[in-house]
Amino acid sequence: MQDAVYQAVYQRSLNDPESFWAEAAEDIHWFRRWDRVLDDRNKPFYRWFSGGELNTCYNALDVHVEQGRADQAALIYDSAVTARIKTWTYRELRDQVARVAGMLRAQGVGKGDRVVIYMPMVPEAVMAMLACARIGAIHAVVFGGFAAPELASRIDDAQPRLVITASCGLEPGRTVEYKPLLDTAIDIARHKPERCLIVQRSQYPATLSQERDRDWDQQLAAAAAVDCVPVAATDPLYILHTSGTTGTPKGIVRDNGGHAVAMKWSMKNVYDVGAGEVYWAASDIGWVVGHSYIVYAPLLKGCTTILYEGKPVGTPDPGAFWRVISQHQVSVLFTAPTAIRAIKKEDPDGQQRRKYDLSSLRTLFLAGERCDSDTLTWSKQLLGVPVIDHWWQTETAWAIGANCMGIQALPIKPGSPTRAVPGYDVRCFDEHGNDAAPGTIGNIVIRLPLPPGTFPTLWNNDERFVHGYMARFPGYYLSGDAGYLDTDGYLWIMSRIDDIINVAGHRLSTGAIEEVLASHTDVAECAVVGVADALKGQVPVGLVVLKAGAEIDPTLLSQQLIERVRERIGPVASFRTVGVVKRLPKTRSGKILRGTMRDMADGKPYKMPPTIDDPHILVEIAEALRTLGYTVVDAPR
C-alpha cells in the first residue's frame, strides 16, 4: 500500500509524541512556554503543556487581527430560518467578543467560573463562548433540543454563576420558547444561578424576571471591552456534557493548551484547510462538532467559519446546503451522514445541486455516526469531490480515525473511516485484552497517553473517568465502540458496546430513556433499544410491561410515555414508538436481552440466546414488534 508519507508522520507521533506535539505547539501564541510537553506524573490523568500559559480567544481572534487578517471575514451567520446573513471580520468579532467579555465580567463572572449557554444557532452563542475563553471562565453549552430536566442536571453539575439563553429558537414550523424551559430547569435544579442573560429575539420576546434576568442588548450597551487573561494550558476551557450509560450525563472537560494545539494542527493535517479559506461545519454549537469545528478550530486557523441556522431540508428546500456553499464559497463542508440522507430522500436525483456553482468545494467530511456506503457514493457522485468519513467522539474533540487529507490522501474503503490519525495508537482488543486478529470484531481501544485536545478527566468526577474509560484495560482508553482493524490497518467502527445509540448524529443513552419510562406509575419494567432507521441511522423503540392490575389503555399509555420523554429528555430523542408486552426476554441471571430485541426489530436473523429464561417470550416480542410495523424474521431453530 502506498502510504509512506502517512506512515512516517504517524510513526513519529507515536514514537516521539513530545517532540511531535511541541513542534505543533509552536503554531500557537503562548504567554508563557510550557515546562513539560507531556506531564505523566499522575497516570492516567495525563496533562499536556503543563506550566504553559495562553489564551484560546487571543489565539482565535486577536492574533489574526494583529497579524494581517483584521479585515478578513471571521464569522458568517447564515440564518435560513430568518433569511438573515451577517458577517463579522476578525477585527469586528474581536471587538464584539471583548465587549461581551466585559459584560460577563460586569455580571460577576471571573476566571474559573462556569457559564451555561443554552442557545439556538445565533451569533451571540459563539460570542459568549469566545468571551468566556477571553476571561478564563468555563463554558458549558447545552444543546437546545434538550428539555428542562436535562438542562437542570447540567446546571447542577456545572454550578454556573451565569446562564445565557435566547428567548427562542426557530425550528421549521415551530418556535422553541427557551425562557420557560430555563425557568423550569432552574426550578428543578438544586443549584440556583445568580444571574441569567437573555438574548431577546423579535420572533418571541420573553418576559424577564426582575431580580434574576438581564437583557443581553441592554447589558452589552453598557459594557466595556476587556483584554485576554492568561490561563494555564491545563485550565479548563469548557465542559461539554454527553450521554453516558446512566441517566446522569458526563461532563467532558477540555483544557486550553492541548486543545488549541490539536485544533489548529487538525485543520491543516486532517482537513487540508489553510488560513483565509471558508470552512463550514453544518452542525450545532451544542455538540462537540460545533465546539471544535464551528467555533475553535477554524478561528484558530484564521479561516472564515459559518454559523448556519437551518436544516439540510425544509429551510426552504433540499438545496439549502448547496446554496450556502455557493453563496459563501465554502472550501470544505463537514456534516453528518444523516443530513445527506435527508437531502437524498427529498431530492434523490440531485436536481437542486444543479442550480448552484459548487466549484469552491474541495472535500466533504462526514462524521457523527457510521457512514453507510450508499450515502458516501451518492454524495461523491453528486458533488464530484472526495467524501471522507472520519470517526471521533465528544471525549476526544477531534478525529481518531480519518483519511488525513493534509498528510496523504489514502485510498478510500467505503464504510471505513480509514486509518488512525497521528497521535492515536488505536488497537482492537478481544475480551482478554489481547490484540484481535485482523477482521475480527473487538473493543476499539487507544493506548495512553491520548494526544493533546482529548479530555483529561470528567468534571468533578475523576472516579467515573477512571472507572468508565481507563479501568477495563489498564494503560488503554476504552472508546466504547466495537469494530475491527483490517489487514491494511483500516479501521471499521461497527457499533457501541454500551447502551448508547446514535439518533440523527446525536448521541443518546437508552438507559436515560428507560429511566423516564420506568417512572410511569403503570410501568413495571421496560427496555429501550436503538432500531435501524433509514433517515436517522437509529431511533429508540420502547417495550414496556404493565404493572399487575394496571388498566390503562395501551394507546393512551404510549402517548403519555412519548410525551414524557419529550418533556424530560427533549424532542431530540425522537422517541415515537412504544409497544406494550407481557414480559421482557431475559437471561437466567435476569439480564434483559436488548441486543436480541434490537436484531429482531432490525429484521436480522437472530439466534435463540442459550441463556434465555423462557424462549416463548421471543414469540410474544416478535408479535409486538410486528404490530409496531417491524418485519421480524423467524428465529432459526
Binding site for ligand COA (CB under 6 A): 120, 144-145, 169, 171, 174, 176, 282-284, 287, 289, 311-313, 335-336, 338-339, 342, 367-368, 504-505, 535, 571-572, 574
Distance between CA atoms of 553 and 196, rounded to whole angstroms?
A: 43
Cα 399 to Cα 422: distance, rounded to the nearest angstrom = 10
Within 139-198, the residues that bind ligand AMP by CB under 6 A are none
Report whether 421 contacts 405 (CB < 8 A): no
- Our CB check for ligand COA shows the closer of 177 and 462 to be 177
DSSP state of 73: E
Nearest distance in Å: CB 390, ligand AMP? 6
Judged by CB under 6 A, which stretch of 9-17, 115-123, 142-150, 365-373 contacts ligand AMP?
365-373
Contacting ligand AMP (CB under 6 A), which of 353, 370, 427, 598? 370
Stretch that binds ligand AMP, among 25-33, 362-370, 432-440, 588-596 (CB under 6 A): 362-370
Contacts with ligand AMP, 442-471, as mask; x by CB under 6 A = ------------------------------
Of the chain, the end-to-end C-alpha distance in Å amounts to 44
In whole angstroms, the minimum distance from the beta carbon of 408 to ligand AMP comes to: 19
Pick from ligand AMP, ligand COA, none: which does 47 bind, CB < 5 to 8 A by kind? Answer: none
Residue spans of alpha helices (H) in 245-372: 257-269, 288-290, 297-301, 320-328, 337-346
Phi, psi of 240, rounded to the nearest 5 degrees: -135, 120
C-alpha angle 283-285-286 in degrees, rounded to nearest 5: 100
CB nearer to ligand COA: give 17 or 145.
145
- Using alpha carbons, list the distances in angstroms from residue 129 to 97, 114, 351, 411, 507: 9, 11, 38, 38, 22
Residue 292 near ligand AMP by CB under 6 A: no
Q: Under 8 Å CB-to-CB from 170, ≥6 apart: which residues?
A: 81, 82, 120, 176, 201, 203, 309
* Contact predicate 250/461, CB 8 Å: yes
* DSSP label at residue 291: I
Cα 391–Cα 76–Cα 116 angle in degrees, nearest 5:
65
Return the one option of ligand AMP, ligand COA, none that residue 370 interacts with (CB less than 5 to 8 A, by type): ligand AMP
State yes or no: residue 493 binds ligand AMP (CB under 6 A).
yes
Query: CB 336 → ligand AMP: shortest distance, Å?
Result: 8
* 496 interacts with, out of ligand COA, ligand AMP, none, CB within 5 to 8 A per kind: ligand AMP
Residue number, 52 or 312, with CB nearest to ligand COA: 312
Of 50, 394, 443, 510, the residue at the interface with ligand AMP (CB under 6 A) is 394
Decide whether 89 or 292 has the Cβ nearer to ligand COA.
292
CA distances from 11 to 16, 379, 396, 472 (A): 8, 32, 20, 26
- Between 273 and 289, name the residue whose CB sits nearer to ligand AMP: 289
Under the binding rule (CB under 6 A), the answer on residue 369 touching ligand AMP is yes
- No. of H helices and E strands in the chain? 20, 31
What is each CA distance from 89 to 121, 294, 429, in whole angstroms? 19, 16, 48
- φ/ψ of 607, rounded to 5, equals -90, 150
Query: Contact between 481 and ligand AMP (CB under 6 A)?
Result: yes
Contact of residue 324 among ligand COA, ligand AMP, none (CB under 5-8 Å per partner type):
none
Give dist(CA 88, CA 74) in Å, integer: 6
Mask for 405-444, x = binds ligand AMP (CB under 6 A): ------------x---------------------------
Does 573 participate in binding ligand AMP (rule CB under 6 A)? no
Using CB distances below 5 to 8 A depending on partner kind, what does residue 393 bind out of ligand COA, ligand AMP, none? ligand AMP
Q: Is 367 among the residues that bind ligand AMP (CB under 6 A)?
A: yes
Q: Which cell is 437 given?
A: 486478529
Rounded to a whole number of angstroms, the minimum distance from the CB of residue 312 to ligand COA is 5
What is the closest distance, in whole angstroms, from the C-beta atom of residue 512 to ligand COA in the complex? 16
- The partner in contact with residue 339, picked from ligand COA, ligand AMP, none with C-beta cut-offs of 5 to 8 angstroms by kind, is ligand COA
**Cα–Cα distance for residue pair 80/310, rounded to 1 Å:** 5
Task: Decide if 138 contacts 236 (C-beta within 8 A).
Answer: yes
Residues of this chain that bind ligand AMP (CB under 6 A): 242, 288, 367-371, 389-394, 417, 480-481, 493, 496, 502, 507
